[in-house]
Amino acid sequence: MKQVLKTILYIVLTLIAIGVINFGFLIYKAKNGIPVYESRAPKLPAEMKDFSVLLFSKTNAFRHHGAIVAAIPAFEKMAKENDWTLFSTANGAVFNAEQLAQFDVVVWNNSTGRVLKDEQRAAFKAYMEKGGGFVGIHGAGDGSHRWDWYEDELIGARFSHHSLQPQFQLADMYLECDSIATFPCADLASKWTRSEEWYVFNTNPRDNGFNPIYTVDENTFNPSGNLGSLITNKDFGMGDDHPIVWYKELPGGGRSFYSALGHSGKAFAEEKVLELLKRGIEWAGQ
């Protein structure tokens, strides 16, 4: 009997140890990413329509699996309805000058981590500097990319944390759309209440010359990212000015649009989320 109890104890301890190691690995991966790179470029469609979109869904850090797999068919449907070519890939080797030149817009579909190697990064930066279009969704701005140009010039804000008390909360967003906006925002909802895992940024994209389209009202949710005794220094938000969707025309004619909305797959069934992303894609691809 003693032997049986001992065996059970060992099994339980082993399972706990495996659980702790797995959890530690997930936290490490979400924060730092584990880079895996590709060298062989994918084959693009033989014919590209007038408006073509590269949907890039590679993750080397946290993977928003539900959101990514829900977004792909939603964008495929959008492309069909609007007569775009949509090329969907998780292959970072598509980031080469020749293939990028085929696309009006590159969408980072919850792409996280160091997803591009140096020459691929250089090709993407050159594409944006020559007038390319960028749309980033949620995790694309999560601070795991470890790339100063990407975070400061393209996303425009440094990620701090996301809401954890609780993780998903209903909150009110407000439209910011002035008469000089080049983004087609005039008829978007002026107040929009929805549930999200709310991102908090250490820097305000407004200070980097980005134009918020929606801000989220911190009086309507708790932005704290503290988690028991595991995370104790993230009990803050961005105060009165908390941008959550924004855009910027970049030097050289490139255009960047970022939306921190889209943690869960359900977001890609929301009409308003899809309408905003469609406009982001069309605007960025001009």
CB of 164 to Zn ion, least distance (A): 11
**Shortest-Cβ-distance residue relative to Zn ion:** 263
112 Cβ contact partners less than 8 Å away, ≥ 6 residues apart? 30, 33, 59, 60, 61, 62, 63, 64, 139, 140, 142, 144, 145
CB of 53 to Zn ion, least distance (A): 22
Q: Which of 263, 273, 280, 284 lies at the binding interface for Zn ion (CB under 5 A)?
A: 263
Cβ proximity to Zn ion, 141 vs 285, nearer residue: 141
**Which range touches Zn ion (CB under 5 A), out of 16-24, 144-152, 190-198, 223-231?**
190-198
Between CA 59 and CA 274 the distance in angstroms is 22
63 near Zn ion, rule: CB under 5 A: no
Between CA 85 and CA 159 the distance in angstroms is 32
Phi/psi-derived region of residue 131, left when phi > 0, alpha when psi is between -120 and 50, beta in every other case: left
Length of the chain equals 286
CB of 70 to Zn ion, least distance (A): 13
CB of 189 to Zn ion, least distance (A): 22
**Which range touches Zn ion (CB under 5 A), out of 116-124, 144-152, 169-177, 191-199?**
191-199
Tokens standing for residue 241: 């000015």
Choose among 101, 99, 87, 82: nearest CA to 282: 82
Between CA 46 and CA 36 the distance in angstroms is 28
Cβ proximity to Zn ion, 85 vs 110, nearer residue: 110
CB of 75 to Zn ion, least distance (A): 18
Cβ proximity to Zn ion, 103 vs 246, nearer residue: 246
Count of residues that interact with Zn ion, criterion CB under 5 A: 2
Cβ proximity to Zn ion, 59 vs 85, nearer residue: 59
197 near Zn ion, rule: CB under 5 A: yes
58 near Zn ion, rule: CB under 5 A: no
152 near 209, Cβ under 8 Å?
Answer: no
Tokens standing for residue 64: 């928003």
Q: What CA–CA distances, in Å, run from 189 to 156, 168, 176, 266?
A: 24, 21, 10, 19
CB of 68 to Zn ion, least distance (A): 11
Cβ proximity to Zn ion, 150 vs 183, nearer residue: 150
Return residues touching Zn ion (CB under 5 A).
Answer: 197, 263
